[in-house]
Amino acid sequence: MTSSRIDSIFTPGLVAAQQPQWPGGADGEQIRKAVDTLKKLPPLVFAGECDNLKARIAEAAEGRAFWLQGGDCAETFAAATADSIRNRIKTILQMAAVLQYFASMPVIKVGRMAGQFAKPRSNNDETRDGVTLPAYRGDAVNDLAFTLESRTPDPQRLVQVYNTSAATLNLVRAFTTGGFADLRQVHEWNKGFASDPRFGARYEQLANEIGRALEFMVSAGVDPEAFKTVDFYSSHEALILEYEKALTRIDSRTGLPYDVSGHFVWVGERTRQLDGAHMDFAAKIENPIGIKLGPKTTPEDALAMIAKLNPENEPGRLTFITRMGAGLIREKLPALVDAVTKSGAKVLWVCDPMHGNTYETSTGYKTRKFDDVMDEVRGFFEVHKKLGTHPGGIHIELTGDDVTECVGGGEQISEADLAGRYETACDPRLNHTQSLELAFLVAEMLRDR
């Protein structure tokens, strides 16, 4: 199929929220050149992998698997280094091992990685000391530095998103199939974490339990080869539609369109207007897709989204990622889950305990409290328990490094500590230690479910 036929899949003339103001306009020469380049590049993922993921999400929606999605709020080109990628993978694998053991079910491992380069913003502009410039919209669009040159959108960056995603994905695949992800290795890392006297004691017993289970499996003759590789999927917000459409291709096996920029893409809270261009895009691609649902979402909204995105009720197609805030989750989530369950629609429910819990300190740092994050997850589990539905997974902004961006946790990071190592290009992330603590605490909830 030619690319102009692919373009014809999407409904023309719809409003696309949160798009950059490209120099020369939306039809300008610069953006057309970038899109032409992208259209000629090979897929980053194989459509068959998207189908495999969909089948696994279908299992999770039925209560037979747990979803773990994590990574940066905003990936940057500068942080696509071996160390940074390795530390993120390592963190997610460590979390997954703990969750898997205590949930007694498979964990679907998904990175906010290899494509998470574009950000929606509350304001188009940012003003500092009387100077107003375009807001930073992610490395896909412009640069974080506060100068006119840096903040001017540059469509050529979309090609760099592709190249950086390809390099990241290549290393992710190498790490997750080449021996780095061996379950015994992952367990050794977790033992190290749990033996840290500052915060580990609480988790040591849990880690020891996993160790004994591993020894038991080996003594029972379980093939250690089975420990060596893991499935790991890529995901990002489908925000910049020129990029996502340029990477939408017709799958040779099925004749159907897939967004091959990643395995799973989601539509954000700010772009999920039912009659908008992002929802039209999501409706037309075959990938498993997610929708973020904030506290203003009504049951009618949720049902209308299901009707638009999954009219055939295809298992695994749709994931609702709720981000209500710790103070609202117990009040707002029940009506949504109840209405969707009664409708018979199959969706996976995932908790994003990050985006409803952000605040700014008096010193100007955007942060989140570890306790609020945990409280929202706890509320999510309580609601699903009450309604008899599956708390299907978690969606976390995290990094594998020892940053100081969220307050609290066993290291007791204070607001005054934030200045020490605050490195995010957008929202505050849990650091390596906070991420593992969260995994152990969620594992306890899964065990006690």
Sign for the pseudo-dihedral over CA of 174, 162, 353, 366: positive
Q: For Mn ion, which residue of 187, 427, 434, 436 counts as binding (CB under 5 A)?
A: 427
330 and 383 in contact (C-beta within 8 Å)? yes
State the binding partner of 284 from Mn ion, ligand PEP, none, CB within 5 to 8 A by kind. Answer: none
- CB 349 → Mn ion: shortest distance, Å? 19
State the binding partner of 244 from ligand PEP, Mn ion, none, CB within 5 to 8 A by kind. Answer: none
State the binding partner of 268 from ligand PEP, Mn ion, none, CB within 5 to 8 A by kind. Answer: ligand PEP
**Does 242 sit near Mn ion (CB under 5 A)?**
no
Question: What value does the CA radius of gyration of the chain take, rounded to a whole number of Å?
Answer: 21
* Site size with Mn ion, rule: CB under 5 A: 2
- CB 18 → ligand PEP: shortest distance, Å? 10
First to last CA, the chain: 49
- CB 427 → Mn ion: shortest distance, Å? 3
- Cα–Cα distance between 407 and 415 in angstroms, integer? 6
Secondary element (H or E) of residue 321: strand 318-322
Looking at the Cβ atoms of 153 and 353, the one nearer to Mn ion is: 353
- CB 113 → ligand PEP: shortest distance, Å? 13
State the binding partner of 432 from Mn ion, ligand PEP, none, CB within 5 to 8 A by kind. Answer: none
- Cα–Cα distance between 315 and 137 in angstroms, integer? 33
- CB 91 → Mn ion: shortest distance, Å? 17
State the binding partner of 372 from Mn ion, ligand PEP, none, CB within 5 to 8 A by kind. Answer: none
- CB 5 → ligand PEP: shortest distance, Å? 31
- Cα–Cα distance between 369 and 384 in angstroms, integer? 23
- CB 120 → ligand PEP: shortest distance, Å? 5
Chain residues in the site for ligand PEP (CB under 6 A): 73, 120, 237, 268-270, 292, 323, 355, 427
- CB 238 → Mn ion: shortest distance, Å? 15
Q: Which range touches Mn ion (CB under 5 A), out of 249-257, 359-367, 379-387, 423-431?
A: 423-431
Looking at the Cβ atoms of 122 and 252, the one nearer to Mn ion is: 122
Looking at the Cβ atoms of 118 and 309, the one nearer to Mn ion is: 118
- Cα–Cα distance between 154 and 161 in angstroms, integer? 12
Give Cα separations from 42 to 12, 218, 242, 289, 323 (angstroms): 25, 41, 16, 21, 34
Looking at the Cβ atoms of 389 and 404, the one nearer to Mn ion is: 404
- Cα–Cα distance between 409 and 78 in angstroms, integer? 28
**CA torsion, points 21, 23, 28, 29, in degrees to nearest 10?**
-140
Looking at the Cβ atoms of 154 and 427, the one nearer to ligand PEP is: 427
Buried b (16+ CB within 10 A) or exposed e, 387-413: eebbbbbbbbbbbbbebbbbbbbbbeb
DSSP string, 375-425: HHHHHHHHHHHHHT----EEEEEB-SS----SBBTTTTB-GGGGGTT---S
- Cα–Cα distance between 53 and 55 in angstroms, integer? 5
**Phi, psi torsion values for 175, nearest 5 degrees:** -65, -40
- CB 424 → Mn ion: shortest distance, Å? 9
Looking at the Cβ atoms of 120 and 353, the one nearer to ligand PEP is: 120
Secondary element (H or E) of residue 233: strand 233-237
- Cα–Cα distance between 271 and 118 in angstroms, integer? 13
Q: For Mn ion, which residue of 38, 73, 277, 413 counts as binding (CB under 5 A)?
A: 73
State the binding partner of 323 from Mn ion, ligand PEP, none, CB within 5 to 8 A by kind. Answer: ligand PEP
Looking at the Cβ atoms of 345 and 430, the one nearer to Mn ion is: 430
The residue number with the shortest CB distance to ligand PEP is 268
State the binding partner of 292 from Mn ion, ligand PEP, none, CB within 5 to 8 A by kind. Answer: ligand PEP
- Cα–Cα distance between 131 and 82 in angstroms, integer? 36
- Judged by the rule CB under 5 A, the positions of this chain that interact with Mn ion are 73, 427
